[in-house]
Amino acid sequence: MNYIPYGERTPDTQYRDLMRRILNWGEDVDSQQEARARMVVGHMMRFDLKNGFPLITERDLSSGQKSVFRQTLAEMRAFWLLGARTLAQLEAEGCTFWAPWGTAEKCTKRGLEAGDLGPGSYGPAFRAFPTASGPFDQVVHILEQMIQLPHLRTHFVSPWIPQYIGRGVDLRTGRKKQQRVVVAPCHGWVHLFLNPEKRTLKLHHFQRSGDVPVGVACNIMGYAALTMMFAQVLGYEPVEYVHTISDAHIYHKQIPDVRDMLATEPQKFPSVYLDPTVKDLFAFTPDHFTLEDYFPRLPRRRIWTPV
């Protein structure tokens, strides 16, 4: 990764600008989790990767054996590279923050065994998307397509399997629709752009719904890491990561923590390096990432999020 020297980087304010926009101009709404939230519709952030790796500095995401940084990398590996569907598979990779969503109560409600996130969850969507001719591996396909036809503008991956996500009643038959996923995918719509002449790669990630103080902080770094992984195995330079959120929200109970984060001074982004020997996308693990020059302003804390 060709970062500019740390001393020459510019502090990035895009994440805090989003939080401030929600606080000042957001609309108060009820949420599925029976918690009031303030939200805005439609927001884009563009990160020049030469200016550092987009790991927020408003609070510490790196400390501890089970740091948010490491668990997010483990989550990305589990879903994107291994096609994980269960809590056991996630936890085997070192990601434990999904536990509240895979309880027996939540799973039984959707006709699933305890710990099963469902056939409509991220892992199955990415690695075994259901089709008439059998499971379709979107990740293998997109990797092969980028290698063979890098100029195409159809390098796209989606986590959305409609038949497993819908709710309500079928008005034609009167039957209740059965959701087959514990959490409808919030992130994971990915569009990759390669420039074969310049050997550069850009990734545009679309997020349907984002809990900005908690989930979005993880999603920004997770998909920036995925940008770097794709670039390395393809032999391209990752130059830009673009993050678009449709429903960006802050829960009312999070507002005091958000104000604390906004009271900090903007900092420069750190550096994240990949082990250059890894050339197989599916071989990446959190151990292949090294974080340097990270100076968060607030200590590690658990910001409230509804379950």
Domains located in the chain, CATH noted: 6-292 (3.30.572.10)
Q: Is residue 223 predicted with pLDDT exceeding 60? A: yes
CA distance linking residue 212 with residue 180, whole number of Å: 26
- Do 257 and 300 contact (CB within 8 A), yes or no? no
CA dist 18 and 138 (Å) reads 31
Query: pLDDT tens-digit profile of 84-141?
Result: 999 999 999 999 999 999 999 999 999 999 999 999 999 999 999 999 999 999 999 9
* Residue 99 Cα to chain centre, angstroms: 17
Distances (CA, A) of 204 to 192, 224, 227: 6, 10, 9
- Global confidence as pTM: 0.96
Per the listing, tokens 């940084």 go with 69
Contacts with 205 (C-beta within 8 Å, 6 or more apart), sequence order: 187, 188, 189, 190, 191, 219, 223, 241, 242, 243, 244
The residue with greater pLDDT, 74 or 35, is: 74
Whether residue 301 has pLDDT greater than 80: no
pLDDT value of position 206: 98
How far apart CA 203 and CA 191 sit, in angstroms, is 6
Express each pLDDT in 130-178 by its tens digit.
Answer: 999 999 999 999 999 999 999 999 999 999 999 999 889 999 998 998 8
End-to-end alpha carbon distance in the chain? 37
Residues facing 193 on adjacent strands: 202
Tell me the HSE value of 206 on the side-chain side, using a 13 A CA sphere: 13
Answer for the pair 183, 223: CB distance below 8 angstroms, yes or no. no
pLDDT at 307 over 70: no
Radius of gyration of the chain (CA): 19
Q: Is the pLDDT of residue 306 over 90?
A: no
- Residue 205's beta-bridge partner residues? 190, 243
Answer for the pair 244, 200: CB distance below 8 angstroms, yes or no: no
Q: 71 pLDDT band (50/70/90 cuts)?
A: very high
**Residue-by-residue DSSP string for 62-93:** S-STT-HHHHHHHHHIIIIIT---BHHHHHHH
pLDDT tens digits, residue range 268-296? 999 999 999 999 999 999 999 999 999 99
Distance between CA 53 and CA 64 in Å, rounded? Answer: 20
Question: What whole-number distance in Å separates Cα of residue 185 and Cα of residue 162?
Answer: 11
Q: Which residue has the higher pLDDT, 208 or 31?
A: 208
Query: CA distances (Å), 237 to each of 150, 195, 279, in order?
Result: 14, 10, 14
Q: Which residues are catalytic?
A: 186
